[in-house]
Structure 1
Amino acid sequence: MKNDTGELVVPRLTVSPDLPATVQEMLRAAKPAELRDPDTAGRGSLWQGLAAPLRWETALMCAGGYTFFTSAGPHAPVRVLLWPAVGLGAAWVALVVSLDIARRRKDRTRLRVIRESREQYVLDGDLVPAAGQLLARASRAVDAVRRSEVHRDNYLDRQRNDVVLPEKEWEIAETLRVYSRLERSTPASAEGEKARPVLDAHRTVLQATLDGIERRVTALETYAEQTAEADRRYAEFLQIKQLSATGHELLELLARSVRDDLAVAEIDNLAEGAATVGEAFKTALAEARESAHALS
């Protein structure tokens, strides 16, 4: 996906496939602020839940209780009506407080897990623009392969792809995060003649790292392109196969209006077309498999 400027949209979140599935789901469901800074998002005492009853539901409950007990016994002494109302109010307050404290405890536990997993996920804000675009390209290529028909129908070793491709995407994201940290900490200019060669060497290493990652991304994109070609050949093959399956009906139809030998020739052409497309499909699959092995 691209934004209005034509750039690819950097994935909001890239998660390590080594994390348990429950933690991955938790991270994907978390709010952006919680992912950026779980410590700040988790500030606040559990006992702040004592203020939970101070909201409009409590006022509504009190008004309802007062109305109920007043209508139930309009001539009863005030002290007789007071205690049931107080008891109802106390029960409501205790319920609201306990539920809010339980929710806060659950949130604190969830934020603790997010904090402990901070090095196991990469946010779009962690990356400098050049690194973000590389990750966006890698993510797009991986998604293209995993959405393809030949992947779905297991012509490209679906089980291996489902393991290897997320690992490759995570390795790229993790390396780009480290690159971005170093890129941001690199001075824009040298402070003196002696610092200039050191800074130049630093930038050379950073650029070599970025070039190496781009080669890996390009390999993923090549795999995605060859997978797309295999998809096109697969669709063509399935269509020809479907047409060939009705060959006998077509033969009967043609035999009614033209000579039998012409009808047979037409059916033979269909069969040859199916064979040709089938071979092209096999070739496309073989090229895609070679690209997949090149990623290892």
Structure 2
Amino acid sequence: MADVIVDPGVPPQDARVLRRSRRVLIKMRQGWAPKLWRPSSGLHYWMLAAFGPAASFGLLLSLGLMSPGLAVLLLALLGLPLVMLRLGRNDVSTEEADEYAFERQAFAQLRWYEGRYVLADDLDEPAARLLARAQRAIATVSGSRINAEGLLDDVRNAVMLPAQEWEIARLLAKLSALRAQHTEVISLGLTPGVAVVAEPLARALSSSEAAVLARVEALERYAANVAGAERAYLAHHQIEELRSHVHHYEELVAETGADAFAVPELERLAADAGRLEQSLRRSLSSAHEAMRAPASTAPTAAAAERSPSSP
């Protein structure tokens, strides 16, 4: 499961930063903010370390307080430790600067796009299981060969599937938060008067979860149809490959005098290929029909989002 699920409306470059920002987001929630100072790069550190002593010795030379030979000797004695220190700090300074730059960028993006991403850690266990099911279904469709080769509506899938993942994650995050609040309140015990209010709210939570479940199951049906079409597609290609070599088999059986046995088998192979091709067409048609189902659940899911707030 992805650590951070991002609204597909977020620009791709910013979305990539958000998906990598789980650690920064957790630190932010604990009160962290990026430091105001910027770690010096290796080059800046080297320039500062070298300029100070050189400027000091130059001043002493210009005032006649130090001989040129002594200045060269002191520069050499001081320069060796500086070089060793510079080499030791090079990688560390670069890593610190890169880490600082990413954390500052992630901090800004997380604040700017607040409400347009979901941290998977925020989902309770039932919600996390539902999201994982949805993501497996989406991966089945997106990773299929028939989708890659355009036998499905790959353009629509590229838009619809990320939108479905985001909507499911967003609704499950709200459901998890409300469910946690509800559980905390009722764990203290309920008087009869409070129970009258709490019971319909509990039903609202259950109906909301059922609505999201229906959306996930629609995705799973789509994925199942795609998987069936994928198997038929691969089998179709295998049989076509075998059929392309039929004439070699025919030549062999004719030369060996095995026509009486082989000809019916070859004819059966051709018939199987024909049936499989029809099956593939039906599977692709079923997948196209199933693809429309997840989108049709949107009004139900939107209603589910409003349900928990209803008394």
TM over 0.5: yes
Q: How does 1:131-142 map to 2 (within 5 A)?
A: 131-142=127-138
Given that residues 141 and 220 in structure 1 are in contact (C-alpha distance below 8 angstroms), is that contact kept between their aligned partners in structure 2? yes
> What does residue 58 of structure 2 align with?
none
Decide whether the 8 Å contact of 2:4 with 2:118 is kept in 1. yes
Name the structure 2 match of 1:220: 219
5+ residue gaps, structure 2, are 54-66, 296-311
Classify the secondary structure of the residue corresponding to 1:194: helix
Secondary structure of 2:35's match?
coil
45 and 13 in structure 1: CA distance in 2 versus 1, 3 angstrom threshold: same
Match of 1:171 among 157, 167, 173: 167
- Larger deviation, residues 178-187 vs 209-218: 178-187
Q: Is structure 2 residue 244 aligned with structure 1 residue 248? A: no
Report the 3-state secondary structure (helix = DSSP H, G, I; strand = E; otherwise coil) of the residue aligned with 1:14: strand
- Residue 114 in structure 1 maps to residue 110 in structure 2: yes
Q: 1:45 aligns with which of 36, 45, 48?
A: 36
Matched, 1:154 2:146: no
The one-letter code matched in structure 2 to 1:255 is A
Shift of 1:35: 2.6
1:14 aligns with 2:14: no
- How far 1:129 moved relative to its partner? 1.0
Any idea what the Cα deviations from partners look like across 1:170-229, whole Å, max 9, x if unmatched? 100001111111111112245422211111111111110000000110111111111111
CA RMSD of aligned residues (A): 3.5
How far residue 119 of structure 1 moved from its aligned partner, in angstroms, is 1.8
Partners of 1:225 and 1:102 lie apart in 2 by: 44
C-alpha distance in 1 between matches for 2:169 and 2:217: 14
Q: 1: distance between equivalents of 2:147 and 2:71?
A: 76
- Whole-Å Cα distance in 2 between the matches of residues 254 and 27 of structure 1? 64
How many residue pairs were aligned?
A: 267
Q: In the alignment, residue 188 of structure 1 is paired with which amino acid?
A: I
Letter matched to residue 242 of structure 1: E
- 1:42 Cα deviation after fit: 3.0
User: In the TM superposition, what is the alpha-carbon distance from 1:258 to its structure 2 partner?
Assistant: 2.8
After TM superposition, give the deviation of residue 44 of structure 1 in Å. 2.3
Give the Cα–Cα distance (whole angstroms) in 2 for the partners of residues 213 and 230 of structure 1: 26
Instruction: Name the residue aligned to 2:16.
Output: 25
CA distance, structure 2, for counterparts of residue 262 and residue 85 of structure 1:
96
> Structure 1 pair 126/294, CA: closer, same or farther in 2 (3 Å)?
same
Deviation at 1:87, TM superposition (A): 8.9
Residue identity over aligned pairs, in percent, reads 29
Counting only pairs closer than 5 Å after superposition, residues 267-282 of structure 1 correspond to structure 2 as 267-282=266-281
TM-score (norm 2): 0.74
Q: Tell me the amino acid that sits aligned with residue 241 of structure 2.
A: Q
Shift of 1:127: 0.8
Is it true that 1:283 corresponds to 2:273 in the alignment?
no
